[in-house]
Amino acid sequence: MAEASWDDLQLFHVVAEAGGLSGAAERTGISAPTIGRRMLALERTLGRSLFVRSQRGYQLAHDGQELFRRVTAMREVASGIAVWHADAFALPFVSIATDCWLSPLIADNLESLRSRDDPFRICCSSEGESADLTFRAADVVVLSKRPESGNVAVLPSVEMAYAVYRPKAAAGQALPWISIGTAAAREPRDRYVFENFEGGIMTWTEDRHLLPRLVLSGVGRAVLPVWVGDGLTELEREGEVIAELTHPLFIVAHDDDRHRREVRLTIERLAALLKNNAARLAGKAGSDGAGIQ
């Protein structure tokens, strides 16, 4: 069974309001004969007589009045959808996914990724390592490993380093270890403490964001990214950068999306942001507690 098209229903509404073909032609720019043929075809599709045709014009028949009421309601809904779309989704957006350690860097430097005049929006996520580009979970992802498959474009970036941190107030004290829980430990940096110092762990968490807070509270020492640990003036490094945990960063985008202007700009600016902070991310800058710029 054929369905009436929305275009024909809207044209019917114009004819009903105008009271005839001539008035509808003036409003739409469609010729009167063409409108007349489309109204006949609409009546055949619906199996109902919509108009009483006379020299005075097109008057609505009973079924035409009912259809007019229904189409009016449909137009109001469609208008509401258009307003909703215009208000909230008029601009395209770029979603950026990083791991939880890099997400503060993105948040602190968002204006370097999108200026106030850029015609797009940005969505930030800390699910970088688990973001699936195959299903467009994000437009741009920063990963610690180069993807081995998938229709993706990969831009090698800088290195990220880690070290053990302890509270300065506990200098000289033998502190227990704080670790990421085994259920949440997906990367070597997460597993380092329980793989090497399991017997000394007195506190653990499944939430990486809590690690710096737990160290600051004085309950122990933990492995942190150097840019995070060095930025907390109450903490100090215990030993050198742990070379085996240092890893590269890769900026990855789906190959179909990377040519979109807003995605391309975001990739370029993200690459510049990471490069500008390469020394701090790699633990090669001075430990003066200054934040990333």
Where are the domains positioned within the chain? 6-88, 93-159+248-275, 162-245
Share of the chain above pLDDT 90, in %: 68
When pLDDT is cut at 50, 70 and 90, the band that residue 133 belongs to is low
In the DSSP assignment, the letter for residue 146 is: -
Mean pLDDT of 269-292: 78
Residue of 224, 227, 269, 249 whose CA lies nearest to 141: 249
Higher pLDDT, 238 or 90: 238
Mean pLDDT of 42-62: 91
- Out of 210-214, 225-229, 247-251, 280-284, pick the least confident: 280-284
- Per residue in 175-188, pLDDT (tens digit) is 999 999 988 888 99
Domain made up of 93-159+248-275: CATH architecture = 3-Layer(aba) Sandwich (3.40)
Mean pLDDT of 54-66: 91
Question: What CA–CA distance (Å, rounded) separates 88 from 121?
Answer: 11
What's the pLDDT score for residue 129? 61
Mean pLDDT of 250-265: 90
Q: Which residue has the tokens 């020394």?
A: 279
Question: What CA–CA distance (Å, rounded) separates 123 from 95?
Answer: 4
Mean pLDDT of 156-163: 96
Mean pLDDT of 70-96: 80
Domain made up of 6-88: CATH architecture = Orthogonal Bundle (1.10)
Q: Is the pLDDT of residue 223 over 60?
A: yes
What's the pLDDT score for residue 130? 58
pTM value is 0.67
Share of the chain above pLDDT 70, in %: 90
CA distances from 62 to 21, 42, 71 (A): 19, 15, 14
- Out of 1-10, 23-32, 64-73, 284-293, pick the least confident: 284-293
Q: Is the pLDDT of residue 164 over 90?
A: yes
Mean pLDDT of 200-222: 95
Which CATH number does 162-245 carry? 3.40.190.10
Mean pLDDT of 70-95: 79
Q: Is the pLDDT of residue 1 over 60?
A: no
Same fold, 93-159+248-275 and 162-245: yes
When pLDDT is cut at 50, 70 and 90, the band that residue 189 belongs to is very high
Mean pLDDT of 243-247: 96
Contact of 123 with 108, CB cutoff 8 Å: no
Residue of 252, 247, 289, 293 whose CA lies nearest to 274: 293
Pairing of strands 162-167, 222-225: antiparallel
Query: What b/e readout covers 186-212, taking b as 16+ CB neighbours within 10 angstroms?
Result: ebebbbbbbeeeeebbebbbeebebbb
In the DSSP assignment, the letter for residue 291 is: P
What's the pLDDT score for residue 288? 43
How confident is the prediction for the chain on average, in pLDDT?
88
Question: What CA–CA distance (Å, rounded) separates 124 from 247?
Answer: 22
Spatial neighbors of 283 by CB under 8 A, at least 6 apart, are 161, 162, 163, 226, 227, 230, 241, 246
What's the pLDDT score for residue 82? 72
What's the pLDDT score for residue 287? 42
What's the pLDDT score for residue 286? 52
